[in-house]
């Protein structure tokens, strides 16, 4: 029952955020950047402005909707990059072994020793702030967990009979990795990818909050929180709604990942029971 609840609640929350971001041009009341009117600055939530307005008189509801687009784009694309890098390195290291395995293991340990957010900060300090730079920074800093998982799964699978049969049939190493090993580890990879998306959304918000991610006036939840620091006591709604958007998105992804883990990994479910 708990498994189904996690999956349903997480899937519903994540789907709601996806729908809100996708339909933002139709759901938003105003343009999130251009429609600013100082006459309506710091208006509290009401019938005219559901989430209130910020210090420039922009509709926070519209900016939160458009901010979902940025957060989802960063979360999905950066995690795809991390997954591809981690799977390629982990599967090849586990399958080939030798010096390549030692090199990948050492590189993975080094990445695990450095907090991913610190590494992303260093990359963003070199690159110009923006969406492309953000995708590069977050896409190159969080692949180590996927790599470890893929390597461990490969080490346990490569001695299986069907892999040995593929070798006898003359399959190339790359074909064996793609057709025999990868399909049998997709479940855990999907789970860790779903959980990693939540981390990417948080990282994007943190970098934008520090001024190294999406720059104002473009609507990003992190930059909206940064702009609201001076009005946190006089106009708390400016920071409450972007913060709630981050909370709901990350909660939904974590619950969805937890539910998928219990379904795709029955052993994990039995251990927790």
For residue 157, being part of any structural domain is answered with yes
What sign for the dihedral angle of Cα 238, 241, 244, 245? negative
pLDDT at 48: 80
- Tell me the CATH number at 163: 1.10.3720.10
Closest CA to 218 of 25, 8, 32, 28: 32
For residue 26, being part of any structural domain is answered with no
Confidence check: pLDDT of 266 > 90: no
| pLDDT tens per residue across span 159-216 | 888 888 888 888 888 888 888 888 888 888 988 888 889 889 998 888 888 888 877 7
* Average pLDDT over all residues of the chain: 85
CB of 268 within 8 A of CB of 90? no
For residue 31, being part of any structural domain is answered with no
Cα–Cα dist 243/208, whole Å: 13
For residue 36, being part of any structural domain is answered with no
pLDDT band for position 258 (cuts 50, 70, 90): confident
pLDDT at 52: 85
For residue 34, being part of any structural domain is answered with no
For residue 25, being part of any structural domain is answered with no
| pLDDT tens per residue across span 83-137 | 999 999 999 999 998 899 999 999 999 888 888 888 888 888 888 778 888 888 8
Which structural domain, as residue segments, surrounds residue 128?
2-17+51-272
For residue 45, being part of any structural domain is answered with no
Number of domains comprising the chain: 1
For residue 33, being part of any structural domain is answered with no
């Amino acid at each position: 029952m708990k498994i189904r609840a996690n999956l349903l609640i997480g899937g519903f929350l994540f789907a709601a955020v996806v729908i809100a971001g996708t339909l933002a041009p139709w759901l938003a009341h105003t343009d999130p950047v251009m429609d600013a009117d100082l006459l309506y600055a710091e208006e509290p939530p009401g019938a005219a402005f559901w989430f209130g307005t910020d210090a420039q008189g922009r509709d926070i509801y519209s900016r939160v909707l458009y901010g979902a687009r940025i957060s989802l784009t960063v979360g999905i694309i950066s995690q795809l990059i991390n997954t591809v890098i981690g799977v390629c390195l982990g599967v090849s290291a586990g399958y080939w072994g030798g010096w390549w395995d030692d090199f990948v293991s050492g590189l993975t340990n080094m990445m695990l020793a450095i907090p991913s957010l610190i590494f992303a900060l260093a990359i963003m300090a070199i690159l110009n702030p923006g969406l492309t730079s953000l995708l590069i920074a977050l896409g190159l800093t969080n692949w180590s967990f996927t790599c470890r998982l893929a390597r461990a799964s490969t080490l346990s699978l490569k001695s299986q009979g069907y892999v040995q049969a593929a070798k006898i049939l003359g399959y190339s190493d790359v074909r064996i990795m793609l057709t025999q090993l990868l399909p049998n580890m997709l479940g855990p990879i999907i789970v860790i990818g779903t959980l990693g998306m939540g981390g990417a959304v948080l990282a994007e918000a943190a970098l934008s909050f520090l001024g190294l991610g999406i720059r104002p006036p473009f609507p990003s939840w992190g930059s909206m929180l940064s702009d609201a620091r001076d009005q946190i006591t006089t106009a708390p709604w400016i920071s409450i709604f972007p913060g709630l958007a981050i909370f709901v998105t990350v909660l939904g992804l974590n619950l969805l990942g937890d539910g998928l883990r219990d379904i795709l990994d029955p052993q994990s479910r039995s251990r927790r029971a």
